[in-house]
Amino acid sequence: MAEYELQCFAQSGNAYKVALMLELSQASWTPVWVDFFNGATRDPEFRSEENEMGEIPVLRHGETRLTQSAVILEYLSQQLGTFGWENEEERREILRWLFWDNHKLTSYVATLRYMRAMVKTGETDVTRFFEGRAIAALKVLDQRLADTDFLVGNRPTIADLSVCGYLFWPEEIGVDFGPYSNVNAWLERIKALPHWVAPYDLMPGHPLPTPA
Amino acid sequence: MAEYELQCFAQSGNAYKVALMLELSQASWTPVWVDFFNGATRDPEFRSEENEMGEIPVLRHGETRLTQSAVILEYLSQQLGTFGWENEEERREILRWLFWDNHKLTSYVATLRYMRAMVKTGETDVTRFFEGRAIAALKVLDQRLADTDFLVGNRPTIADLSVCGYLFWPEEIGVDFGPYSNVNAWLERIKALPHWVAPYDLMPGHPLPTPA
């Protein structure tokens, strides 16, 4: 039996952040597919038993149940001894990028991709608004990576594994990453890490069934 | 000279999260007003010297400079010995609500308020989209508070101080909080804490000057 059980689905970048951490660390883990697109996370039983926030990922490790990708990443870095910090200042700097990712990058990029690639709303005032916010965040990230190979401490940490979570899908996001050459070079460095696997190959549920 | 220097402005709920922490803890602190509405946080010097993320708040404590409200709250809880956790499980649970706030509550509520009360865009597809997300978050919060006085450990922690940051402005957000009676009761409990001060009375820059 695997040590870690990750509730996830292939299209979730937030779940990918954790799956990538587990895979890069060569942990003993197994994915458990959650039927997000048919409302599994809105189910009252899911909310009472798994996550009142109604979100994926959920990690189970023995009796411990954890949610919020960043909290799980922090936990795993300590459990597995990988991709963590070396001192308190680094720990805070990693945490700072984890919050920035959740608030300013993923919150816009993930929603934009969801509208364009999953709901297929077409171009609307809402997609244009989210695209503006997504591009502002990509600029901050590109600037940060101008003279460092990774976000914190010049080596890969959970900050990188979180921030990259949605960025291997530029076509689905529908934003040209061309101008962000530092971001692109950094994504290549992450892809070159031993045991890297792309999101759709790492978690179950891809491709989505074609509607009848 | 005050021990803590907080770069802030009265309209920032993210700055308020930290200002409220400092005030409730009766710390030695002083606010430093930042001219956000005239672009101070977009200034290249601000980005290079204060915060590359281009955001308020920034806290200075001696030689230490910190950004991201949640990282600052965690730091202050340890420095001041207030509103923190009692064990590792509580620490993770507080962190979980801090991430949820940044990703799912503040990200939508703050932007909705900004469009309605500051930019005054009027009702658009974008405000309607953000209102839907804000209400979904308020429902999660209301459910959480159904049988506990505060978010974690049944006593006020930095999780509460973060999550409440934008919620004392329901009129500016333009959402009727009436249906969320647990949220309202919890906000009253926070207002009843010794030394509580409303955002516009705690930080400089209110009201905004009327355009000429």
Q: Do B140 and A52 touch (CB under 8 A)?
A: yes
Token output for B201: 């009375």
d(CA A189, CA A183): 10
Q: What's the one-letter identity of residue B104? A: K
As a residue count, chain A comes to 212
Distance from CA of A69 to the nearest CA of B (A): 9
Q: Do A99 and B71 touch (CB under 8 A)?
A: yes
How many distinct helices (H) and strands (E) make up chain A?
10, 4
Q: Is the pLDDT of residue A181 over 70?
A: yes
Average pLDDT over all residues of chain A: 97
Which of A71, A106, A140 lies closest to B96 in CB terms?
A71
Contacts of A24 (CB under 8 A, 6+ apart): A82, A83, A161, A193, A194, A195, A196
Q: Is the ipTM of this complex over 0.90?
A: yes
Examine residue B29 and state whether it is found in any structural domain, yes or no: yes
Span B112-163, pLDDT tens digits: 999 999 999 999 999 999 999 999 999 999 999 999 999 999 999 999 999 9
Average pLDDT over all residues of chain B: 97
Quote the number of domains for chain B. 2
User: How many of the other CB atoms lie within 10 Å of CB of B40?
Assistant: 17
HSE of B115, CA atoms in CB hemisphere, 13 A: 19
Which of A54, A92, A124 lies closest to B71 in CB terms?
A92
Contacts of B71 (CB under 8 A, 6+ apart): A92, A95, A96, A99
pLDDT of A178 reads 97
A185 and A138 belong to one structural domain: yes
Phi/psi for A101 (5° steps) reads -55, -50
Token output for B68: 């991201």
A35 and A102 belong to one structural domain: no
Average pLDDT over every residue of A163-177: 98
Q: Is the pLDDT of residue A100 over 80?
A: yes
pLDDT of B176 reads 97
Average pLDDT over every residue of B56-76: 98
Q: Do A67 and B140 touch (CB under 8 A)?
A: no
B92 and B187 belong to one structural domain: yes
Q: How many angstroms separate the Cα of A40 from the Cα of each of A8, A209, B157? A: 11, 16, 31
Residue in chain A closest to B64 (alpha carbons) equals: A89
Q: Exposed/middle/buried for A150, CB within 10 Å: 0-12, 13-18, 19+?
A: middle
Token output for B41: 């946080």
Examine residue B15 and state whether it is found in any structural domain, yes or no: yes
Which of B52, B53, B71 lies closest to A95 in CB terms?
B71
A115 and A185 belong to one structural domain: yes
A32 and A71 belong to one structural domain: yes
Domain of residue B47, residue span: 4-83+197-202
Q: Is the pLDDT of residue A159 over 70?
A: yes
pLDDT of A49 reads 94
Examine residue A50 and state whether it is found in any structural domain, yes or no: yes
If residue A82 lies in a helix (H) or strand (E), which one and from where to where? none
Residue in chain B closest to A53 (alpha carbons) equals: B140
Omega prior to A57 cis, within 30 of 0: yes
Average pLDDT over every residue of B35-60: 96
d(CA B50, CA B67): 8
Examine residue A8 and state whether it is found in any structural domain, yes or no: yes
Q: Is the pLDDT of residue B211 over 80?
A: no
Examine residue A126 and state whether it is found in any structural domain, yes or no: yes
Chain B interface disruption, residue of A46, A47, A48, A53, most B CBs within 10 A: A53
Distance from CA of A104 to the nearest CA of B (A): 8
Kindly report the CATH number assigned to the domain that includes residue B14. 3.40.30.10
pLDDT of A209 reads 84
Strands (E), chain B: 4-8, 29-33, 58-61, 64-67
Contacts of B68 in chain A (CB under 8 A): 95-96, 99-100
B20 and B76 belong to one structural domain: yes
B28 and B109 belong to one structural domain: no
Q: Is the pLDDT of residue A7 over 70?
A: yes
How many distinct helices (H) and strands (E) make up chain B?
10, 4
Contacts of B70 in chain A (CB under 8 A): 95, 99
Q: Is the pLDDT of residue A211 over 90?
A: no
B66 and B106 belong to one structural domain: no
Average pLDDT over every residue of B174-197: 98
pLDDT of B94 reads 98
B63 and B123 belong to one structural domain: no
Q: Do B104 and A75 touch (CB under 8 A)?
A: no
Contacts of B95 in chain A (CB under 8 A): 68, 70-71, 74
A77 and A153 belong to one structural domain: no
Examine residue B207 and state whether it is found in any structural domain, yes or no: no
Which of B52, B103, B126 lies closest to A129 in CB terms?
B126
pLDDT of A121 reads 97
A92 and A78 belong to one structural domain: no
Beta strand B58-61 pairing with B4-8: antiparallel
Residue B187 confidence class, pLDDT cut points 50, 70, 90: very high
Q: Do A70 and B99 touch (CB under 8 A)?
A: yes
CB B180 within 8 A of CB B109: no
Q: Is the pLDDT of residue B210 over 90?
A: no
Examine residue B141 and state whether it is found in any structural domain, yes or no: yes
Kindly report the CATH number assigned to the domain that includes residue B170. 1.20.1050.10
d(CA A168, CA A158): 16
Q: Is the pLDDT of residue A141 over 80?
A: yes
Q: Is the pLDDT of residue A212 over 80?
A: no
Examine residue B210 and state whether it is found in any structural domain, yes or no: no
B146 and B96 belong to one structural domain: yes
d(CA B12, CA A211): 45
Span A13-59, pLDDT tens digits: 999 999 999 999 999 999 999 999 999 999 999 999 999 999 999 99
Q: Exposed/middle/buried for A6, CB within 10 Å: 0-12, 13-18, 19+?
A: buried
